[in-house]
Amino acid sequence: MDSSFSSSAGSPLMPVSARVSTGRDRFPTAASSAAGVRPYGLRFAADPGPTARTARIPAWTLDPATQIARATADHTPLYRMPNTGTRATTGASPDGGGSTGGEEWTADFYGDEG
Amino acid sequence: MTVLVLAADLDPTVDAVVAELNRRDVPVLRCDLAWFPQHLALDARLDDGARRWAGGLHTEHRHVELEGLRSAWYRGPTGFRLPTGLTGPERHHALWEAKLGLGGVLAELPVLWVNHPGAEADAAYKPVQLPTATRSGLTVPPTLITNQLDAVRAFAADHDGDIVVKPLSFGIITEDGVDRPIWTHRLTGDDLADLSGVDTTAHLFQRYVGDKQFEARVTVVGGRLFAAAIHAGSAAARIDWRSDYAALDIKPVDVPAQVESGIREFMTRMELVFGAFDFVVDTSGAWWFLECNSAGQFGWIEDATGLPITAALADLLEKGQP
């Protein structure tokens, strides 16, 4: 195993209730495998299109006083900004915020974020 | 009494709820598991004869006693960030120590969890959800989980070839640095003619519910239900509305009593306090259960309909009981 990658899988049949998120697997390089080996369901993975929301989110910090994210430039709460908050959007995370991923994102299965 | 929020730093949905709790002067400790162990500290003691952990959680700016927590919102926190310089085996060891140590102390806290990490993990399994839904009185489309090509062919034949494939786990794959969503896909004849790769791993196939009136998203917060009808305005959205948010028309909708009863039963069986249910409502009025996302997003529903889901969640966390 590459030392830069660590999996939280452990015993695949461990009791699921023992899980607490340990983060998202990262793969140093990843490209499609040969046809016939690549899982069938991944044939239908879509191109992301021009909707990568994180690219449109301005610089921000988590305000220690209020514990909400604010734009660095003018301290506007991110969730009140139409292009970064919970307004209608496209992509996998309809409420905005790249790091939370989409609804199908299940933290408990991911490995080391670091 | 403090509300513990375990979430990623960048999560506008969390921001909205925390802002509401701030407005109510409810103390909050928001942190991410990624802060542990470098920016989040734990000391937990089980003293002689004690029935629960005592001690505290500490961040750079806040401290909370474990006994001073009233509720905890487990909202997609990201993973532990360990110090650099560890070898692979050391990281593996340290991760599991963190997971079972911090995770174990938190999971044992006798507070209202929204949702408990164990229940959240259990609910991630669609093969657990689907029969639980039927046992709860909900209607589930015929489903096949297999790595056998012949089984897919037989299943397709049983349903006139009109089936979909959808992921059991993540709706995104990151390849070459690009996040690619994996929507529900309605199979074509060509797709069925070449099923290579089915045998690589488990796959979920389901009968396509084609005679849709609309889809419904029912967000459950404690004992309250917030239901919205999602009318798709594009071909892609009619198969998977997540693929084209711009084409959606979203309005509040009433939930039939029998479906509401099933939802409540499902929540009880899965030990969930929060859940976002997806249904297809066909032209006969039947509500077909697709899944319950125990960490579903809701800000977009609230924005579109005015349903007060943020306030309901704040109510729940503030009260500390369902």
CA dihedral B128, B129, B134, B138 (to 10 degrees): 180
- Cβ distance B12 to A47 less than 8 Å, yes or no, reads no
Q: Is the pLDDT of residue A98 over 50?
A: no
Closest Cα in chain A, distance from residue B113 (Å): 13
- Cβ distance B10 to A31 less than 8 Å, yes or no, reads no
Nearest chain B residue to A21, by CA: B79
- Cβ distance A92 to B179 less than 8 Å, yes or no, reads yes
pLDDT of residue A104: 36
B103 token code pair: 């995770």
DSSP alpha helix (H) spans, A31-105: none
Q: Rounded to whole angstroms, how far apart are CA atoms B299 and A78?
A: 13
Closest Cα in chain A, distance from residue B35 (Å): 11
pLDDT of residue A10: 40
Quickly tell me which residue has 């989409």 as its tokens. A102
Reading across the β-sheet that carries B40-45, which strands appear in turn? B40-45, B54-59, B63-65
Phi, psi dihedrals of residue B159, rounded to the nearest 5° = -125, 35
Nearest chain B residue to A94, by CA: B300
User: Is the pLDDT higher at B120 or at A88?
Assistant: B120
Sign of CA dihedral B262, B265, B271, B273: positive
Q: Is the pLDDT of residue A7 over 70?
A: no
Q: Is the pLDDT of residue A52 over 50?
A: no
Q: Rounded to whole angstroms, how far apart are CA atoms B183 and B241?
A: 9
Q: Rounded to whole angstroms, how far apart are CA atoms B256 and B115?
A: 25
**Upper half-sphere CA count for residue B171 (Cβ side, 13 Å):** 20
H/E run at residue B274: strand B274-282
Please report, for residues A72, B47, B255, the alpha-carbon distance to residue B228 in angstroms, rounded to integers and kept in the order given: 35, 49, 9
B99 token code pair: 């997971």
* DSSP state, residue B83: P
pLDDT of residue B232: 81
Which residue of B60, B125, B170 is in closest CB contact with A105? B170
Q: Is the pLDDT of residue A84 over 80?
A: no
pLDDT of residue B201: 95
Q: Rounded to whole angstroms, how far apart are CA atoms B230 and B213?
A: 9
Query: Which residue ranges of chain B lie beneath pLDDT 50?
Result: none
Position A91 confidence tier, pLDDT thresholds 50, 70, 90:
very low
Position A79 confidence tier, pLDDT thresholds 50, 70, 90:
confident
Nearest chain A residue to B171, by CA: A104
- Which residues in chain A are closer than 8 Å to B172, comparing Cβ atoms? 92, 101-102, 104-105
Q: Is the pLDDT of residue A2 over 60?
A: no
- Cβ distance B7 to A100 less than 8 Å, yes or no, reads yes
Closest Cα in chain A, distance from residue B137 (Å): 24
pLDDT of residue A113: 31
- Cβ distance B30 to A86 less than 8 Å, yes or no, reads no
Closest Cα in chain A, distance from residue B291 (Å): 10
- Cβ distance B244 to A90 less than 8 Å, yes or no, reads yes
Please report, for residues A79, B32, B215, the alpha-carbon distance to residue A62 in angstroms, rounded to integers and kept in the order given: 12, 11, 36
- Cβ distance A106 to B295 less than 8 Å, yes or no, reads yes
Tell me whether strands A60-62 and B224-232 are parallel, antiparallel or unpaired.
unpaired
**Upper half-sphere CA count for residue B58 (Cβ side, 13 Å):** 9
Q: Are B19 and A68 in contact (CB under 8 A)?
A: yes
Q: Is the pLDDT of residue A103 over 50?
A: no
- Cβ distance A94 to B242 less than 8 Å, yes or no, reads yes
pLDDT of residue B166: 92
* DSSP state, residue B319: H
| CA angle centred on B227, ends B223 and B228, rounded to 5° | 160
- Cβ distance B12 to A91 less than 8 Å, yes or no, reads no
pLDDT of residue A49: 56
* DSSP state, residue B234: S
Q: Is the pLDDT of residue A112 over 80?
A: no
What number is the ipTM of this complex? 0.87
- Cβ distance A19 to B117 less than 8 Å, yes or no, reads yes
Any B CB within 8 A of A25 CB? no
Which residue of B9, B124, B245 is in closest CB contact with A94? B245
- Which residues in chain B are closer than 8 Å to A22, comparing Cβ atoms? 33, 79-80, 95, 98-99
Whether the model clears a pTM of 0.90, i.e. scores above it, the answer is no
- Residue length of chain A: 114
Q: Rounded to whole angstroms, how far apart are CA atoms B112 and B115?
A: 8
Phi, psi dihedrals of residue B78, rounded to the nearest 5° = -95, 175
